[in-house]
Structure 1
Amino acid sequence: MAKKIQLGSLMFLFVAILSACNFPGQKTNPTPFFPTPNYTMTALFSMEIPPTITPPAVVVTVVDNNPLPTQTPAAQATNTPVVVTALPTAVATQAAAATNTAITVRGGQWATAKFLSTAPKMDGDWGEWETTKYPAAYVVWGTADRKNEADLEGSYRIGWDSEYLFVAIKVLDDAYVQNASGQNMYKGDSIEILFDTNLYGDLNSNSLSADDFQIGISAGKGSITGEKEAYLWYPSSKAGSLSNVKIASTNEEGAYRVEIAIPWSVFGITPASGQQYGLGISVSDNDKESENLQQSMVSNLPYRSFLNPTTWTVVTLSK
């Protein structure tokens, strides 16, 4: 009996030893690879963001972007009227300058030349002139050299008869200086008369033509009682002294007066009531006895340009 027990014990021990050994080809469970930390990291990096974090992120993004749509329309609304308003103005201005669009008036103060049944006595006295006095006070040259009205300012009257165009001019000038003559007379105290004899023939032309005249008047070389002269600058083909123009002048304290009679034959015109012509009356000033130069000029034309007759005004012959 004792031998059987010993034998059974030995067999049990042998089976236990066999169970503990790994034989080739025998299947085994893999060694565990720290499952617990893996679960922890999975929870930390999960793609499912907790609900408590998500709303703040979304709200902040929306609030920051909201102002942009509001600002963009506002900027467009402000710019649009400015562009639309500016464009028509620019186009209209350019069109008027680029094309000779028909116009019915010219700028400046229009003048009426009254018919004088009795020609004024050429003595520099305005007493016989029962006509309107017009200003010639726009400073169109040498603003820096013109001190004030007493230094240079002008006014004029205009009339006509069958033989002459009459112009009377009063000039405020604190010092009469004229030592130049001929084509250079503008480099001293002098008068300029612009006259367009074919106003409606080239109403919109901004360049000179053969029917435009530029005449200079010297009230006296050296002094107001000196030799008087009329000079035609334009048309250049006819340039030279005009001996048939009558000139009379007189001076007074701080001023001088000039009466001028220009034969209609100079312009090639047979005058009649109702006729209209282009006109410009300007006065040049020089205060330097030692030098011939044009320091300043005043005119009845606010935008006077000798080369551009559209800047001249209009005179109407009236009877």
Structure 2
Amino acid sequence: MYNPWNGKNDLSADIYLLWDDENLYVAARIFDDVPFVNDEEASEIWNGDCLEITLGANESADPERTFIQNGDYQIGLSPGNNKDIKPSEWIWRKDDYTGGIEVASGSFEGGYVIESRIPFKVLDDFKPQAGKAIDFNIAVDDADKDAREIQFVWSGSKNFYIDPSEWGKAIFVIP
């Protein structure tokens, strides 16, 4: 059950993406009145403070598909709990994932920062190109007690994680 949103200090975010030939970089400044509430690990990190990224790397995928298929990814980035649970990552529905994504987090007054380096090699060697558009979405999960209470999704609904037809587009540009 979700709780009502109590304004930008309860949950809001500035999110930045950057890329090079080998990695996608994600940096997010999360404004959260109760930060670092995530005692979950592995596939359960969505149930606390977390950033979720979905992207479609299969150029031939049907843009109207309503379920994730090969080449679609959902990546979770957890800031941890700033105590015994370290920042971590997870890729859902990718049984052969053995690591490679780096995650770090830190605090500031009024929230936390989470940064990540996602190697394209963990996305089955996806090759970005300037001007290329991919299906993309991002969500910010918030927990103030022991479970997720609020989720903001950039594009779509609470089903964004399984329904690529709800995703927006990200275009790789050269600065």
Q: Same fold (TM over 0.5)?
A: yes
Contact 1:151 1:174 in 2 (8 A): yes
Q: Tell me: CA distance 1:315–1:224, structure 2 relative to 1, closer, same or farther (3 Å).
A: farther
Q: Is the 8 A contact 1:158 1:166 kept in 2?
A: yes
Q: What secondary structure, in the 3-state scheme, does the structure 2 residue paired with 1:266 have? A: helix
Match for residue 142 of structure 2? 285
The aligned counterpart of 2:77 is: 217
Instruction: Give the paired residue count.
Output: 171
1:248 corresponds to 2:104: yes
**Identity over the aligned pairs, expressed in percent?**
25
CA RMSD of aligned residues (A): 2.0
Equivalent residue number for residue 116 of structure 2: 260
Q: In 2 relative to 1, CA 216–175 (structure 1 residues): closer, same or farther, beyond 3 Å?
A: same
Counterparts of residues 175-254 of structure 1 (less than 5 Å)? 175-176=34-35, 177-220=37-80, 222-223=81-82, 226-235=85-94, 237-238=95-96, 243-254=99-110
CA deviation vs aligned residue, 1:189-226 (integer Å, no higher than 9, x gap): 11111111125531111121111101111112x21795
Cα 1:150/1:161, change in 2 over 3 Å: same
- Structure scoring higher RCO (CA < 8 A, sep ≥ 6) equals 2
Name structure 1 gaps, 5 residues minimum. 1-140
Off by >4 Å, runs of 4+ in structure 1: none
Residues 166 and 225 of structure 1, relative CA distance in 2, 3 Å threshold? farther
| TM-score of the aligned structures, taking structure 2 as reference length | 0.88
Larger relative helix fraction: 1
Structure-2 separation of matches of 1:277 and 1:266: 16
Give how far 1:303 is off: 3.3
Match of 2:131 among 256, 274, 282: 274
In structure 2, stretches of 5+ residues that fail to align are: none
Q: Which amino acid is 1:294 matched to? A: R
Q: Does the CA contact (< 8 Å) of 1:157 and 1:168 recur in 2? A: yes
Deviation at 1:255, TM superposition (A): 1.4
Would you tell me which structure has more strand in proportion to its own residues? 2
- Which residue pairs with 1:297 in the alignment? 151
Q: Describe the superposition over 1:250-273 as per-residue Cα deviations: whole angstroms up to 9, x where unpaired.
A: 211111111111000111212221
Matched residue, 1:313: 168
Report the TM-score when normalising by structure 1: 0.50
**Matched residue type, 1:317:** F
Query: In structure 2, what is the Cα distance between the partners aligned to 1:170 and 1:314?
Result: 21
